[in-house]
Structure 1
Amino acid sequence: MTDWDVYLVTQASLSEGRDTREIVRAAVDGGVDVVQLREKGVPARERYELGVDLREITREAGVPLIVNDRVDIAQAVQADGVHLGDEDLPVTVARELLGEDAIVGRSVSFVEDAREAERAGADYLGVGAIYATGSKDDIDDEEYAIGLDRLESIVEAVEIPVVGIGGVDADNASEVAAAGADGVAVISAITGAGDPAAATRELSESVRSGRGRSE
């Protein structure tokens, strides 16, 4: 059974010039629960080569490795699963290609989309953006930030795990957990931290604190 408390999404462009492998090793030392290979803007060959290295790091640590968007790269590096968005392959197709044991996640921002993803067989949902975030240059953060109330509505509408993403850090992760999320997914809160291992631990503590308030 996968723990979802702290879910790292990699992105070298937000890592203060450090190599993604270095960031992931530090996050593993800090107790990260899931790692997603994202690396938007990087050629497929480089993503594959990085994925091979991250698979070795995460396998040794017993941490699931998820690949963003690319089912083919997930297959090639023997990742544990894939995370899909609106423009990616349908959940059902990814499941057919990767098999029943694969972890298939889906990004959603609305209750009905969450229910549809669950019906299609998604194993978990990435819900957001909870708060404004600087990781996506092509959207108006304030317009698309969904807030905690809608997060809570989505959590109540489905039975699969929900991970809150978008502008989440150690200061507000507890609020996301208190709204019912099973964990938080972050990019810059770990990749941009001076001490990624310590940042991972702080996020985990914040999530546990918020979960205690919601119970």
Structure 2
Amino acid sequence: MPSLGRLHLITDTRPGRDPLAVLRAALPVARAELVVQVRVTDDATDREAYDLARRVLALCVPYGATCLVNDRLHVALAVGAAGGHVGAEDLPVAAARRVLGPTAVLGATAREPGTAAGAVAAGASYLGVGPCHTTATKAGLPDPIGPAGVRAVAGAVNVPVIAIGGVTAESVPELRAAGAYGVAVVGALSASPDPARTTAALVEALTC
């Protein structure tokens, strides 16, 4: 299983966003510390998801960055990604592990210790935990759990915990102190006027 980077970049495919441009800016800075989660909108076709994932993977390979596909595990297999990530409304973790096989990276979403422990027992390689803070990137999210919620989950599992939801470089130290191995970002990079500089600030906060 590939070593897991600490900075997870989730592709922002909302109208007006260019996930590949953001990725091209972030990769030379973060390199192997970057995990790119290919996420598309619900109305995107499998072909659109496949085309984006294929292009993302091609960009990641020269830098040793890890490419995962959110939700659509058949797309992850089709492009040869390192694995995938499943949320609460996607395939159960045990089923996702059967689809991807024993050596793939498999992330799962959790926000409380019991769910987190169950996901790890079912085969999750790491957990995406949150939302930590308020975020407008994705609609219908539950209330933020804050660093205290991250600490509760991190104390219940022995896999990397990736904090997500309204994360900025300024909030990274508190999340790391709460037990987060790394962070996942969407808007922090996709809305940044200088994604390379923002990436550098995130990586520095994660690795110092």
The match for 1:69 is 71
CA contact under 8 A between 2:5 and 2:66: conserved in structure 1? no
User: Could you tell me the TM-score, scaled by structure 2's length?
Assistant: 0.93
Query: Unpaired segments of 5 or more residues in structure 1?
Result: 210-215
Cα distance in structure 2, aligned partners of 1:170 and 1:179? 15
User: Could you tell me the TM-score, scaled by structure 1's length?
Assistant: 0.90
Cα distance in structure 2, aligned partners of 1:66 and 1:40? 16
Query: In the alignment, residue 74 of structure 1 is paired with which amino acid?
Result: A
SS at match of 1:30: helix
Tell me if 1:4 matches 2:5. Answer: yes
CA contact under 8 A between 1:9 and 1:37: conserved in structure 2? yes
What is the aligned counterpart of 2:82 among 67, 71, 80? Answer: 80
CA RMSD, Structure 1 to Structure 2 (Å) = 1.5
Cα distance in structure 1, aligned partners of 2:11 and 2:178? 25
What is the aligned counterpart of 1:51 among 43, 50, 53? Answer: 53
After superposition, what is the alpha-carbon deviation per residue over 1:52-74, rounded to whole angstroms, capped at 9, x for unaligned? 11111111211110101111111
SS at match of 2:37: strand
Aligned-pair identity in percent equals 38
CA contact under 8 A between 2:8 and 2:183: conserved in structure 1? yes
The match for 1:121 is 123
Query: In the alignment, residue 73 of structure 2 is paired with which amino acid?
Result: V
How far 1:4 moved relative to its partner? 3.1
Length, aligned pairs only: 204
The match for 1:138 is 140
More deviation, 3-12/150-159: 3-12
After superposition, what is the alpha-carbon deviation per residue over 1:125-179, rounded to whole angstroms, capped at 9, x for unaligned? 000000111111223xxx6101111210111110001000001011111111111
Tell me if 1:37 matches 2:41. Answer: no
SS at match of 1:96: helix
Query: Unpaired segments of 5 or more residues in structure 2?
Result: none
Cα distance in structure 1, aligned partners of 2:206 and 2:63? 21
How far 1:38 moved relative to its partner? 0.7
Cα distance in structure 2, aligned partners of 1:104 and 1:199? 27
After superposition, what is the alpha-carbon deviation per residue over 1:67-94, rounded to whole angstroms, capped at 9, x for unaligned? 0111111111111111001111122222
Higher relative CO (Cα under 8 Å, sequence separation at least 6) belongs to 1
SS at match of 1:181: coil
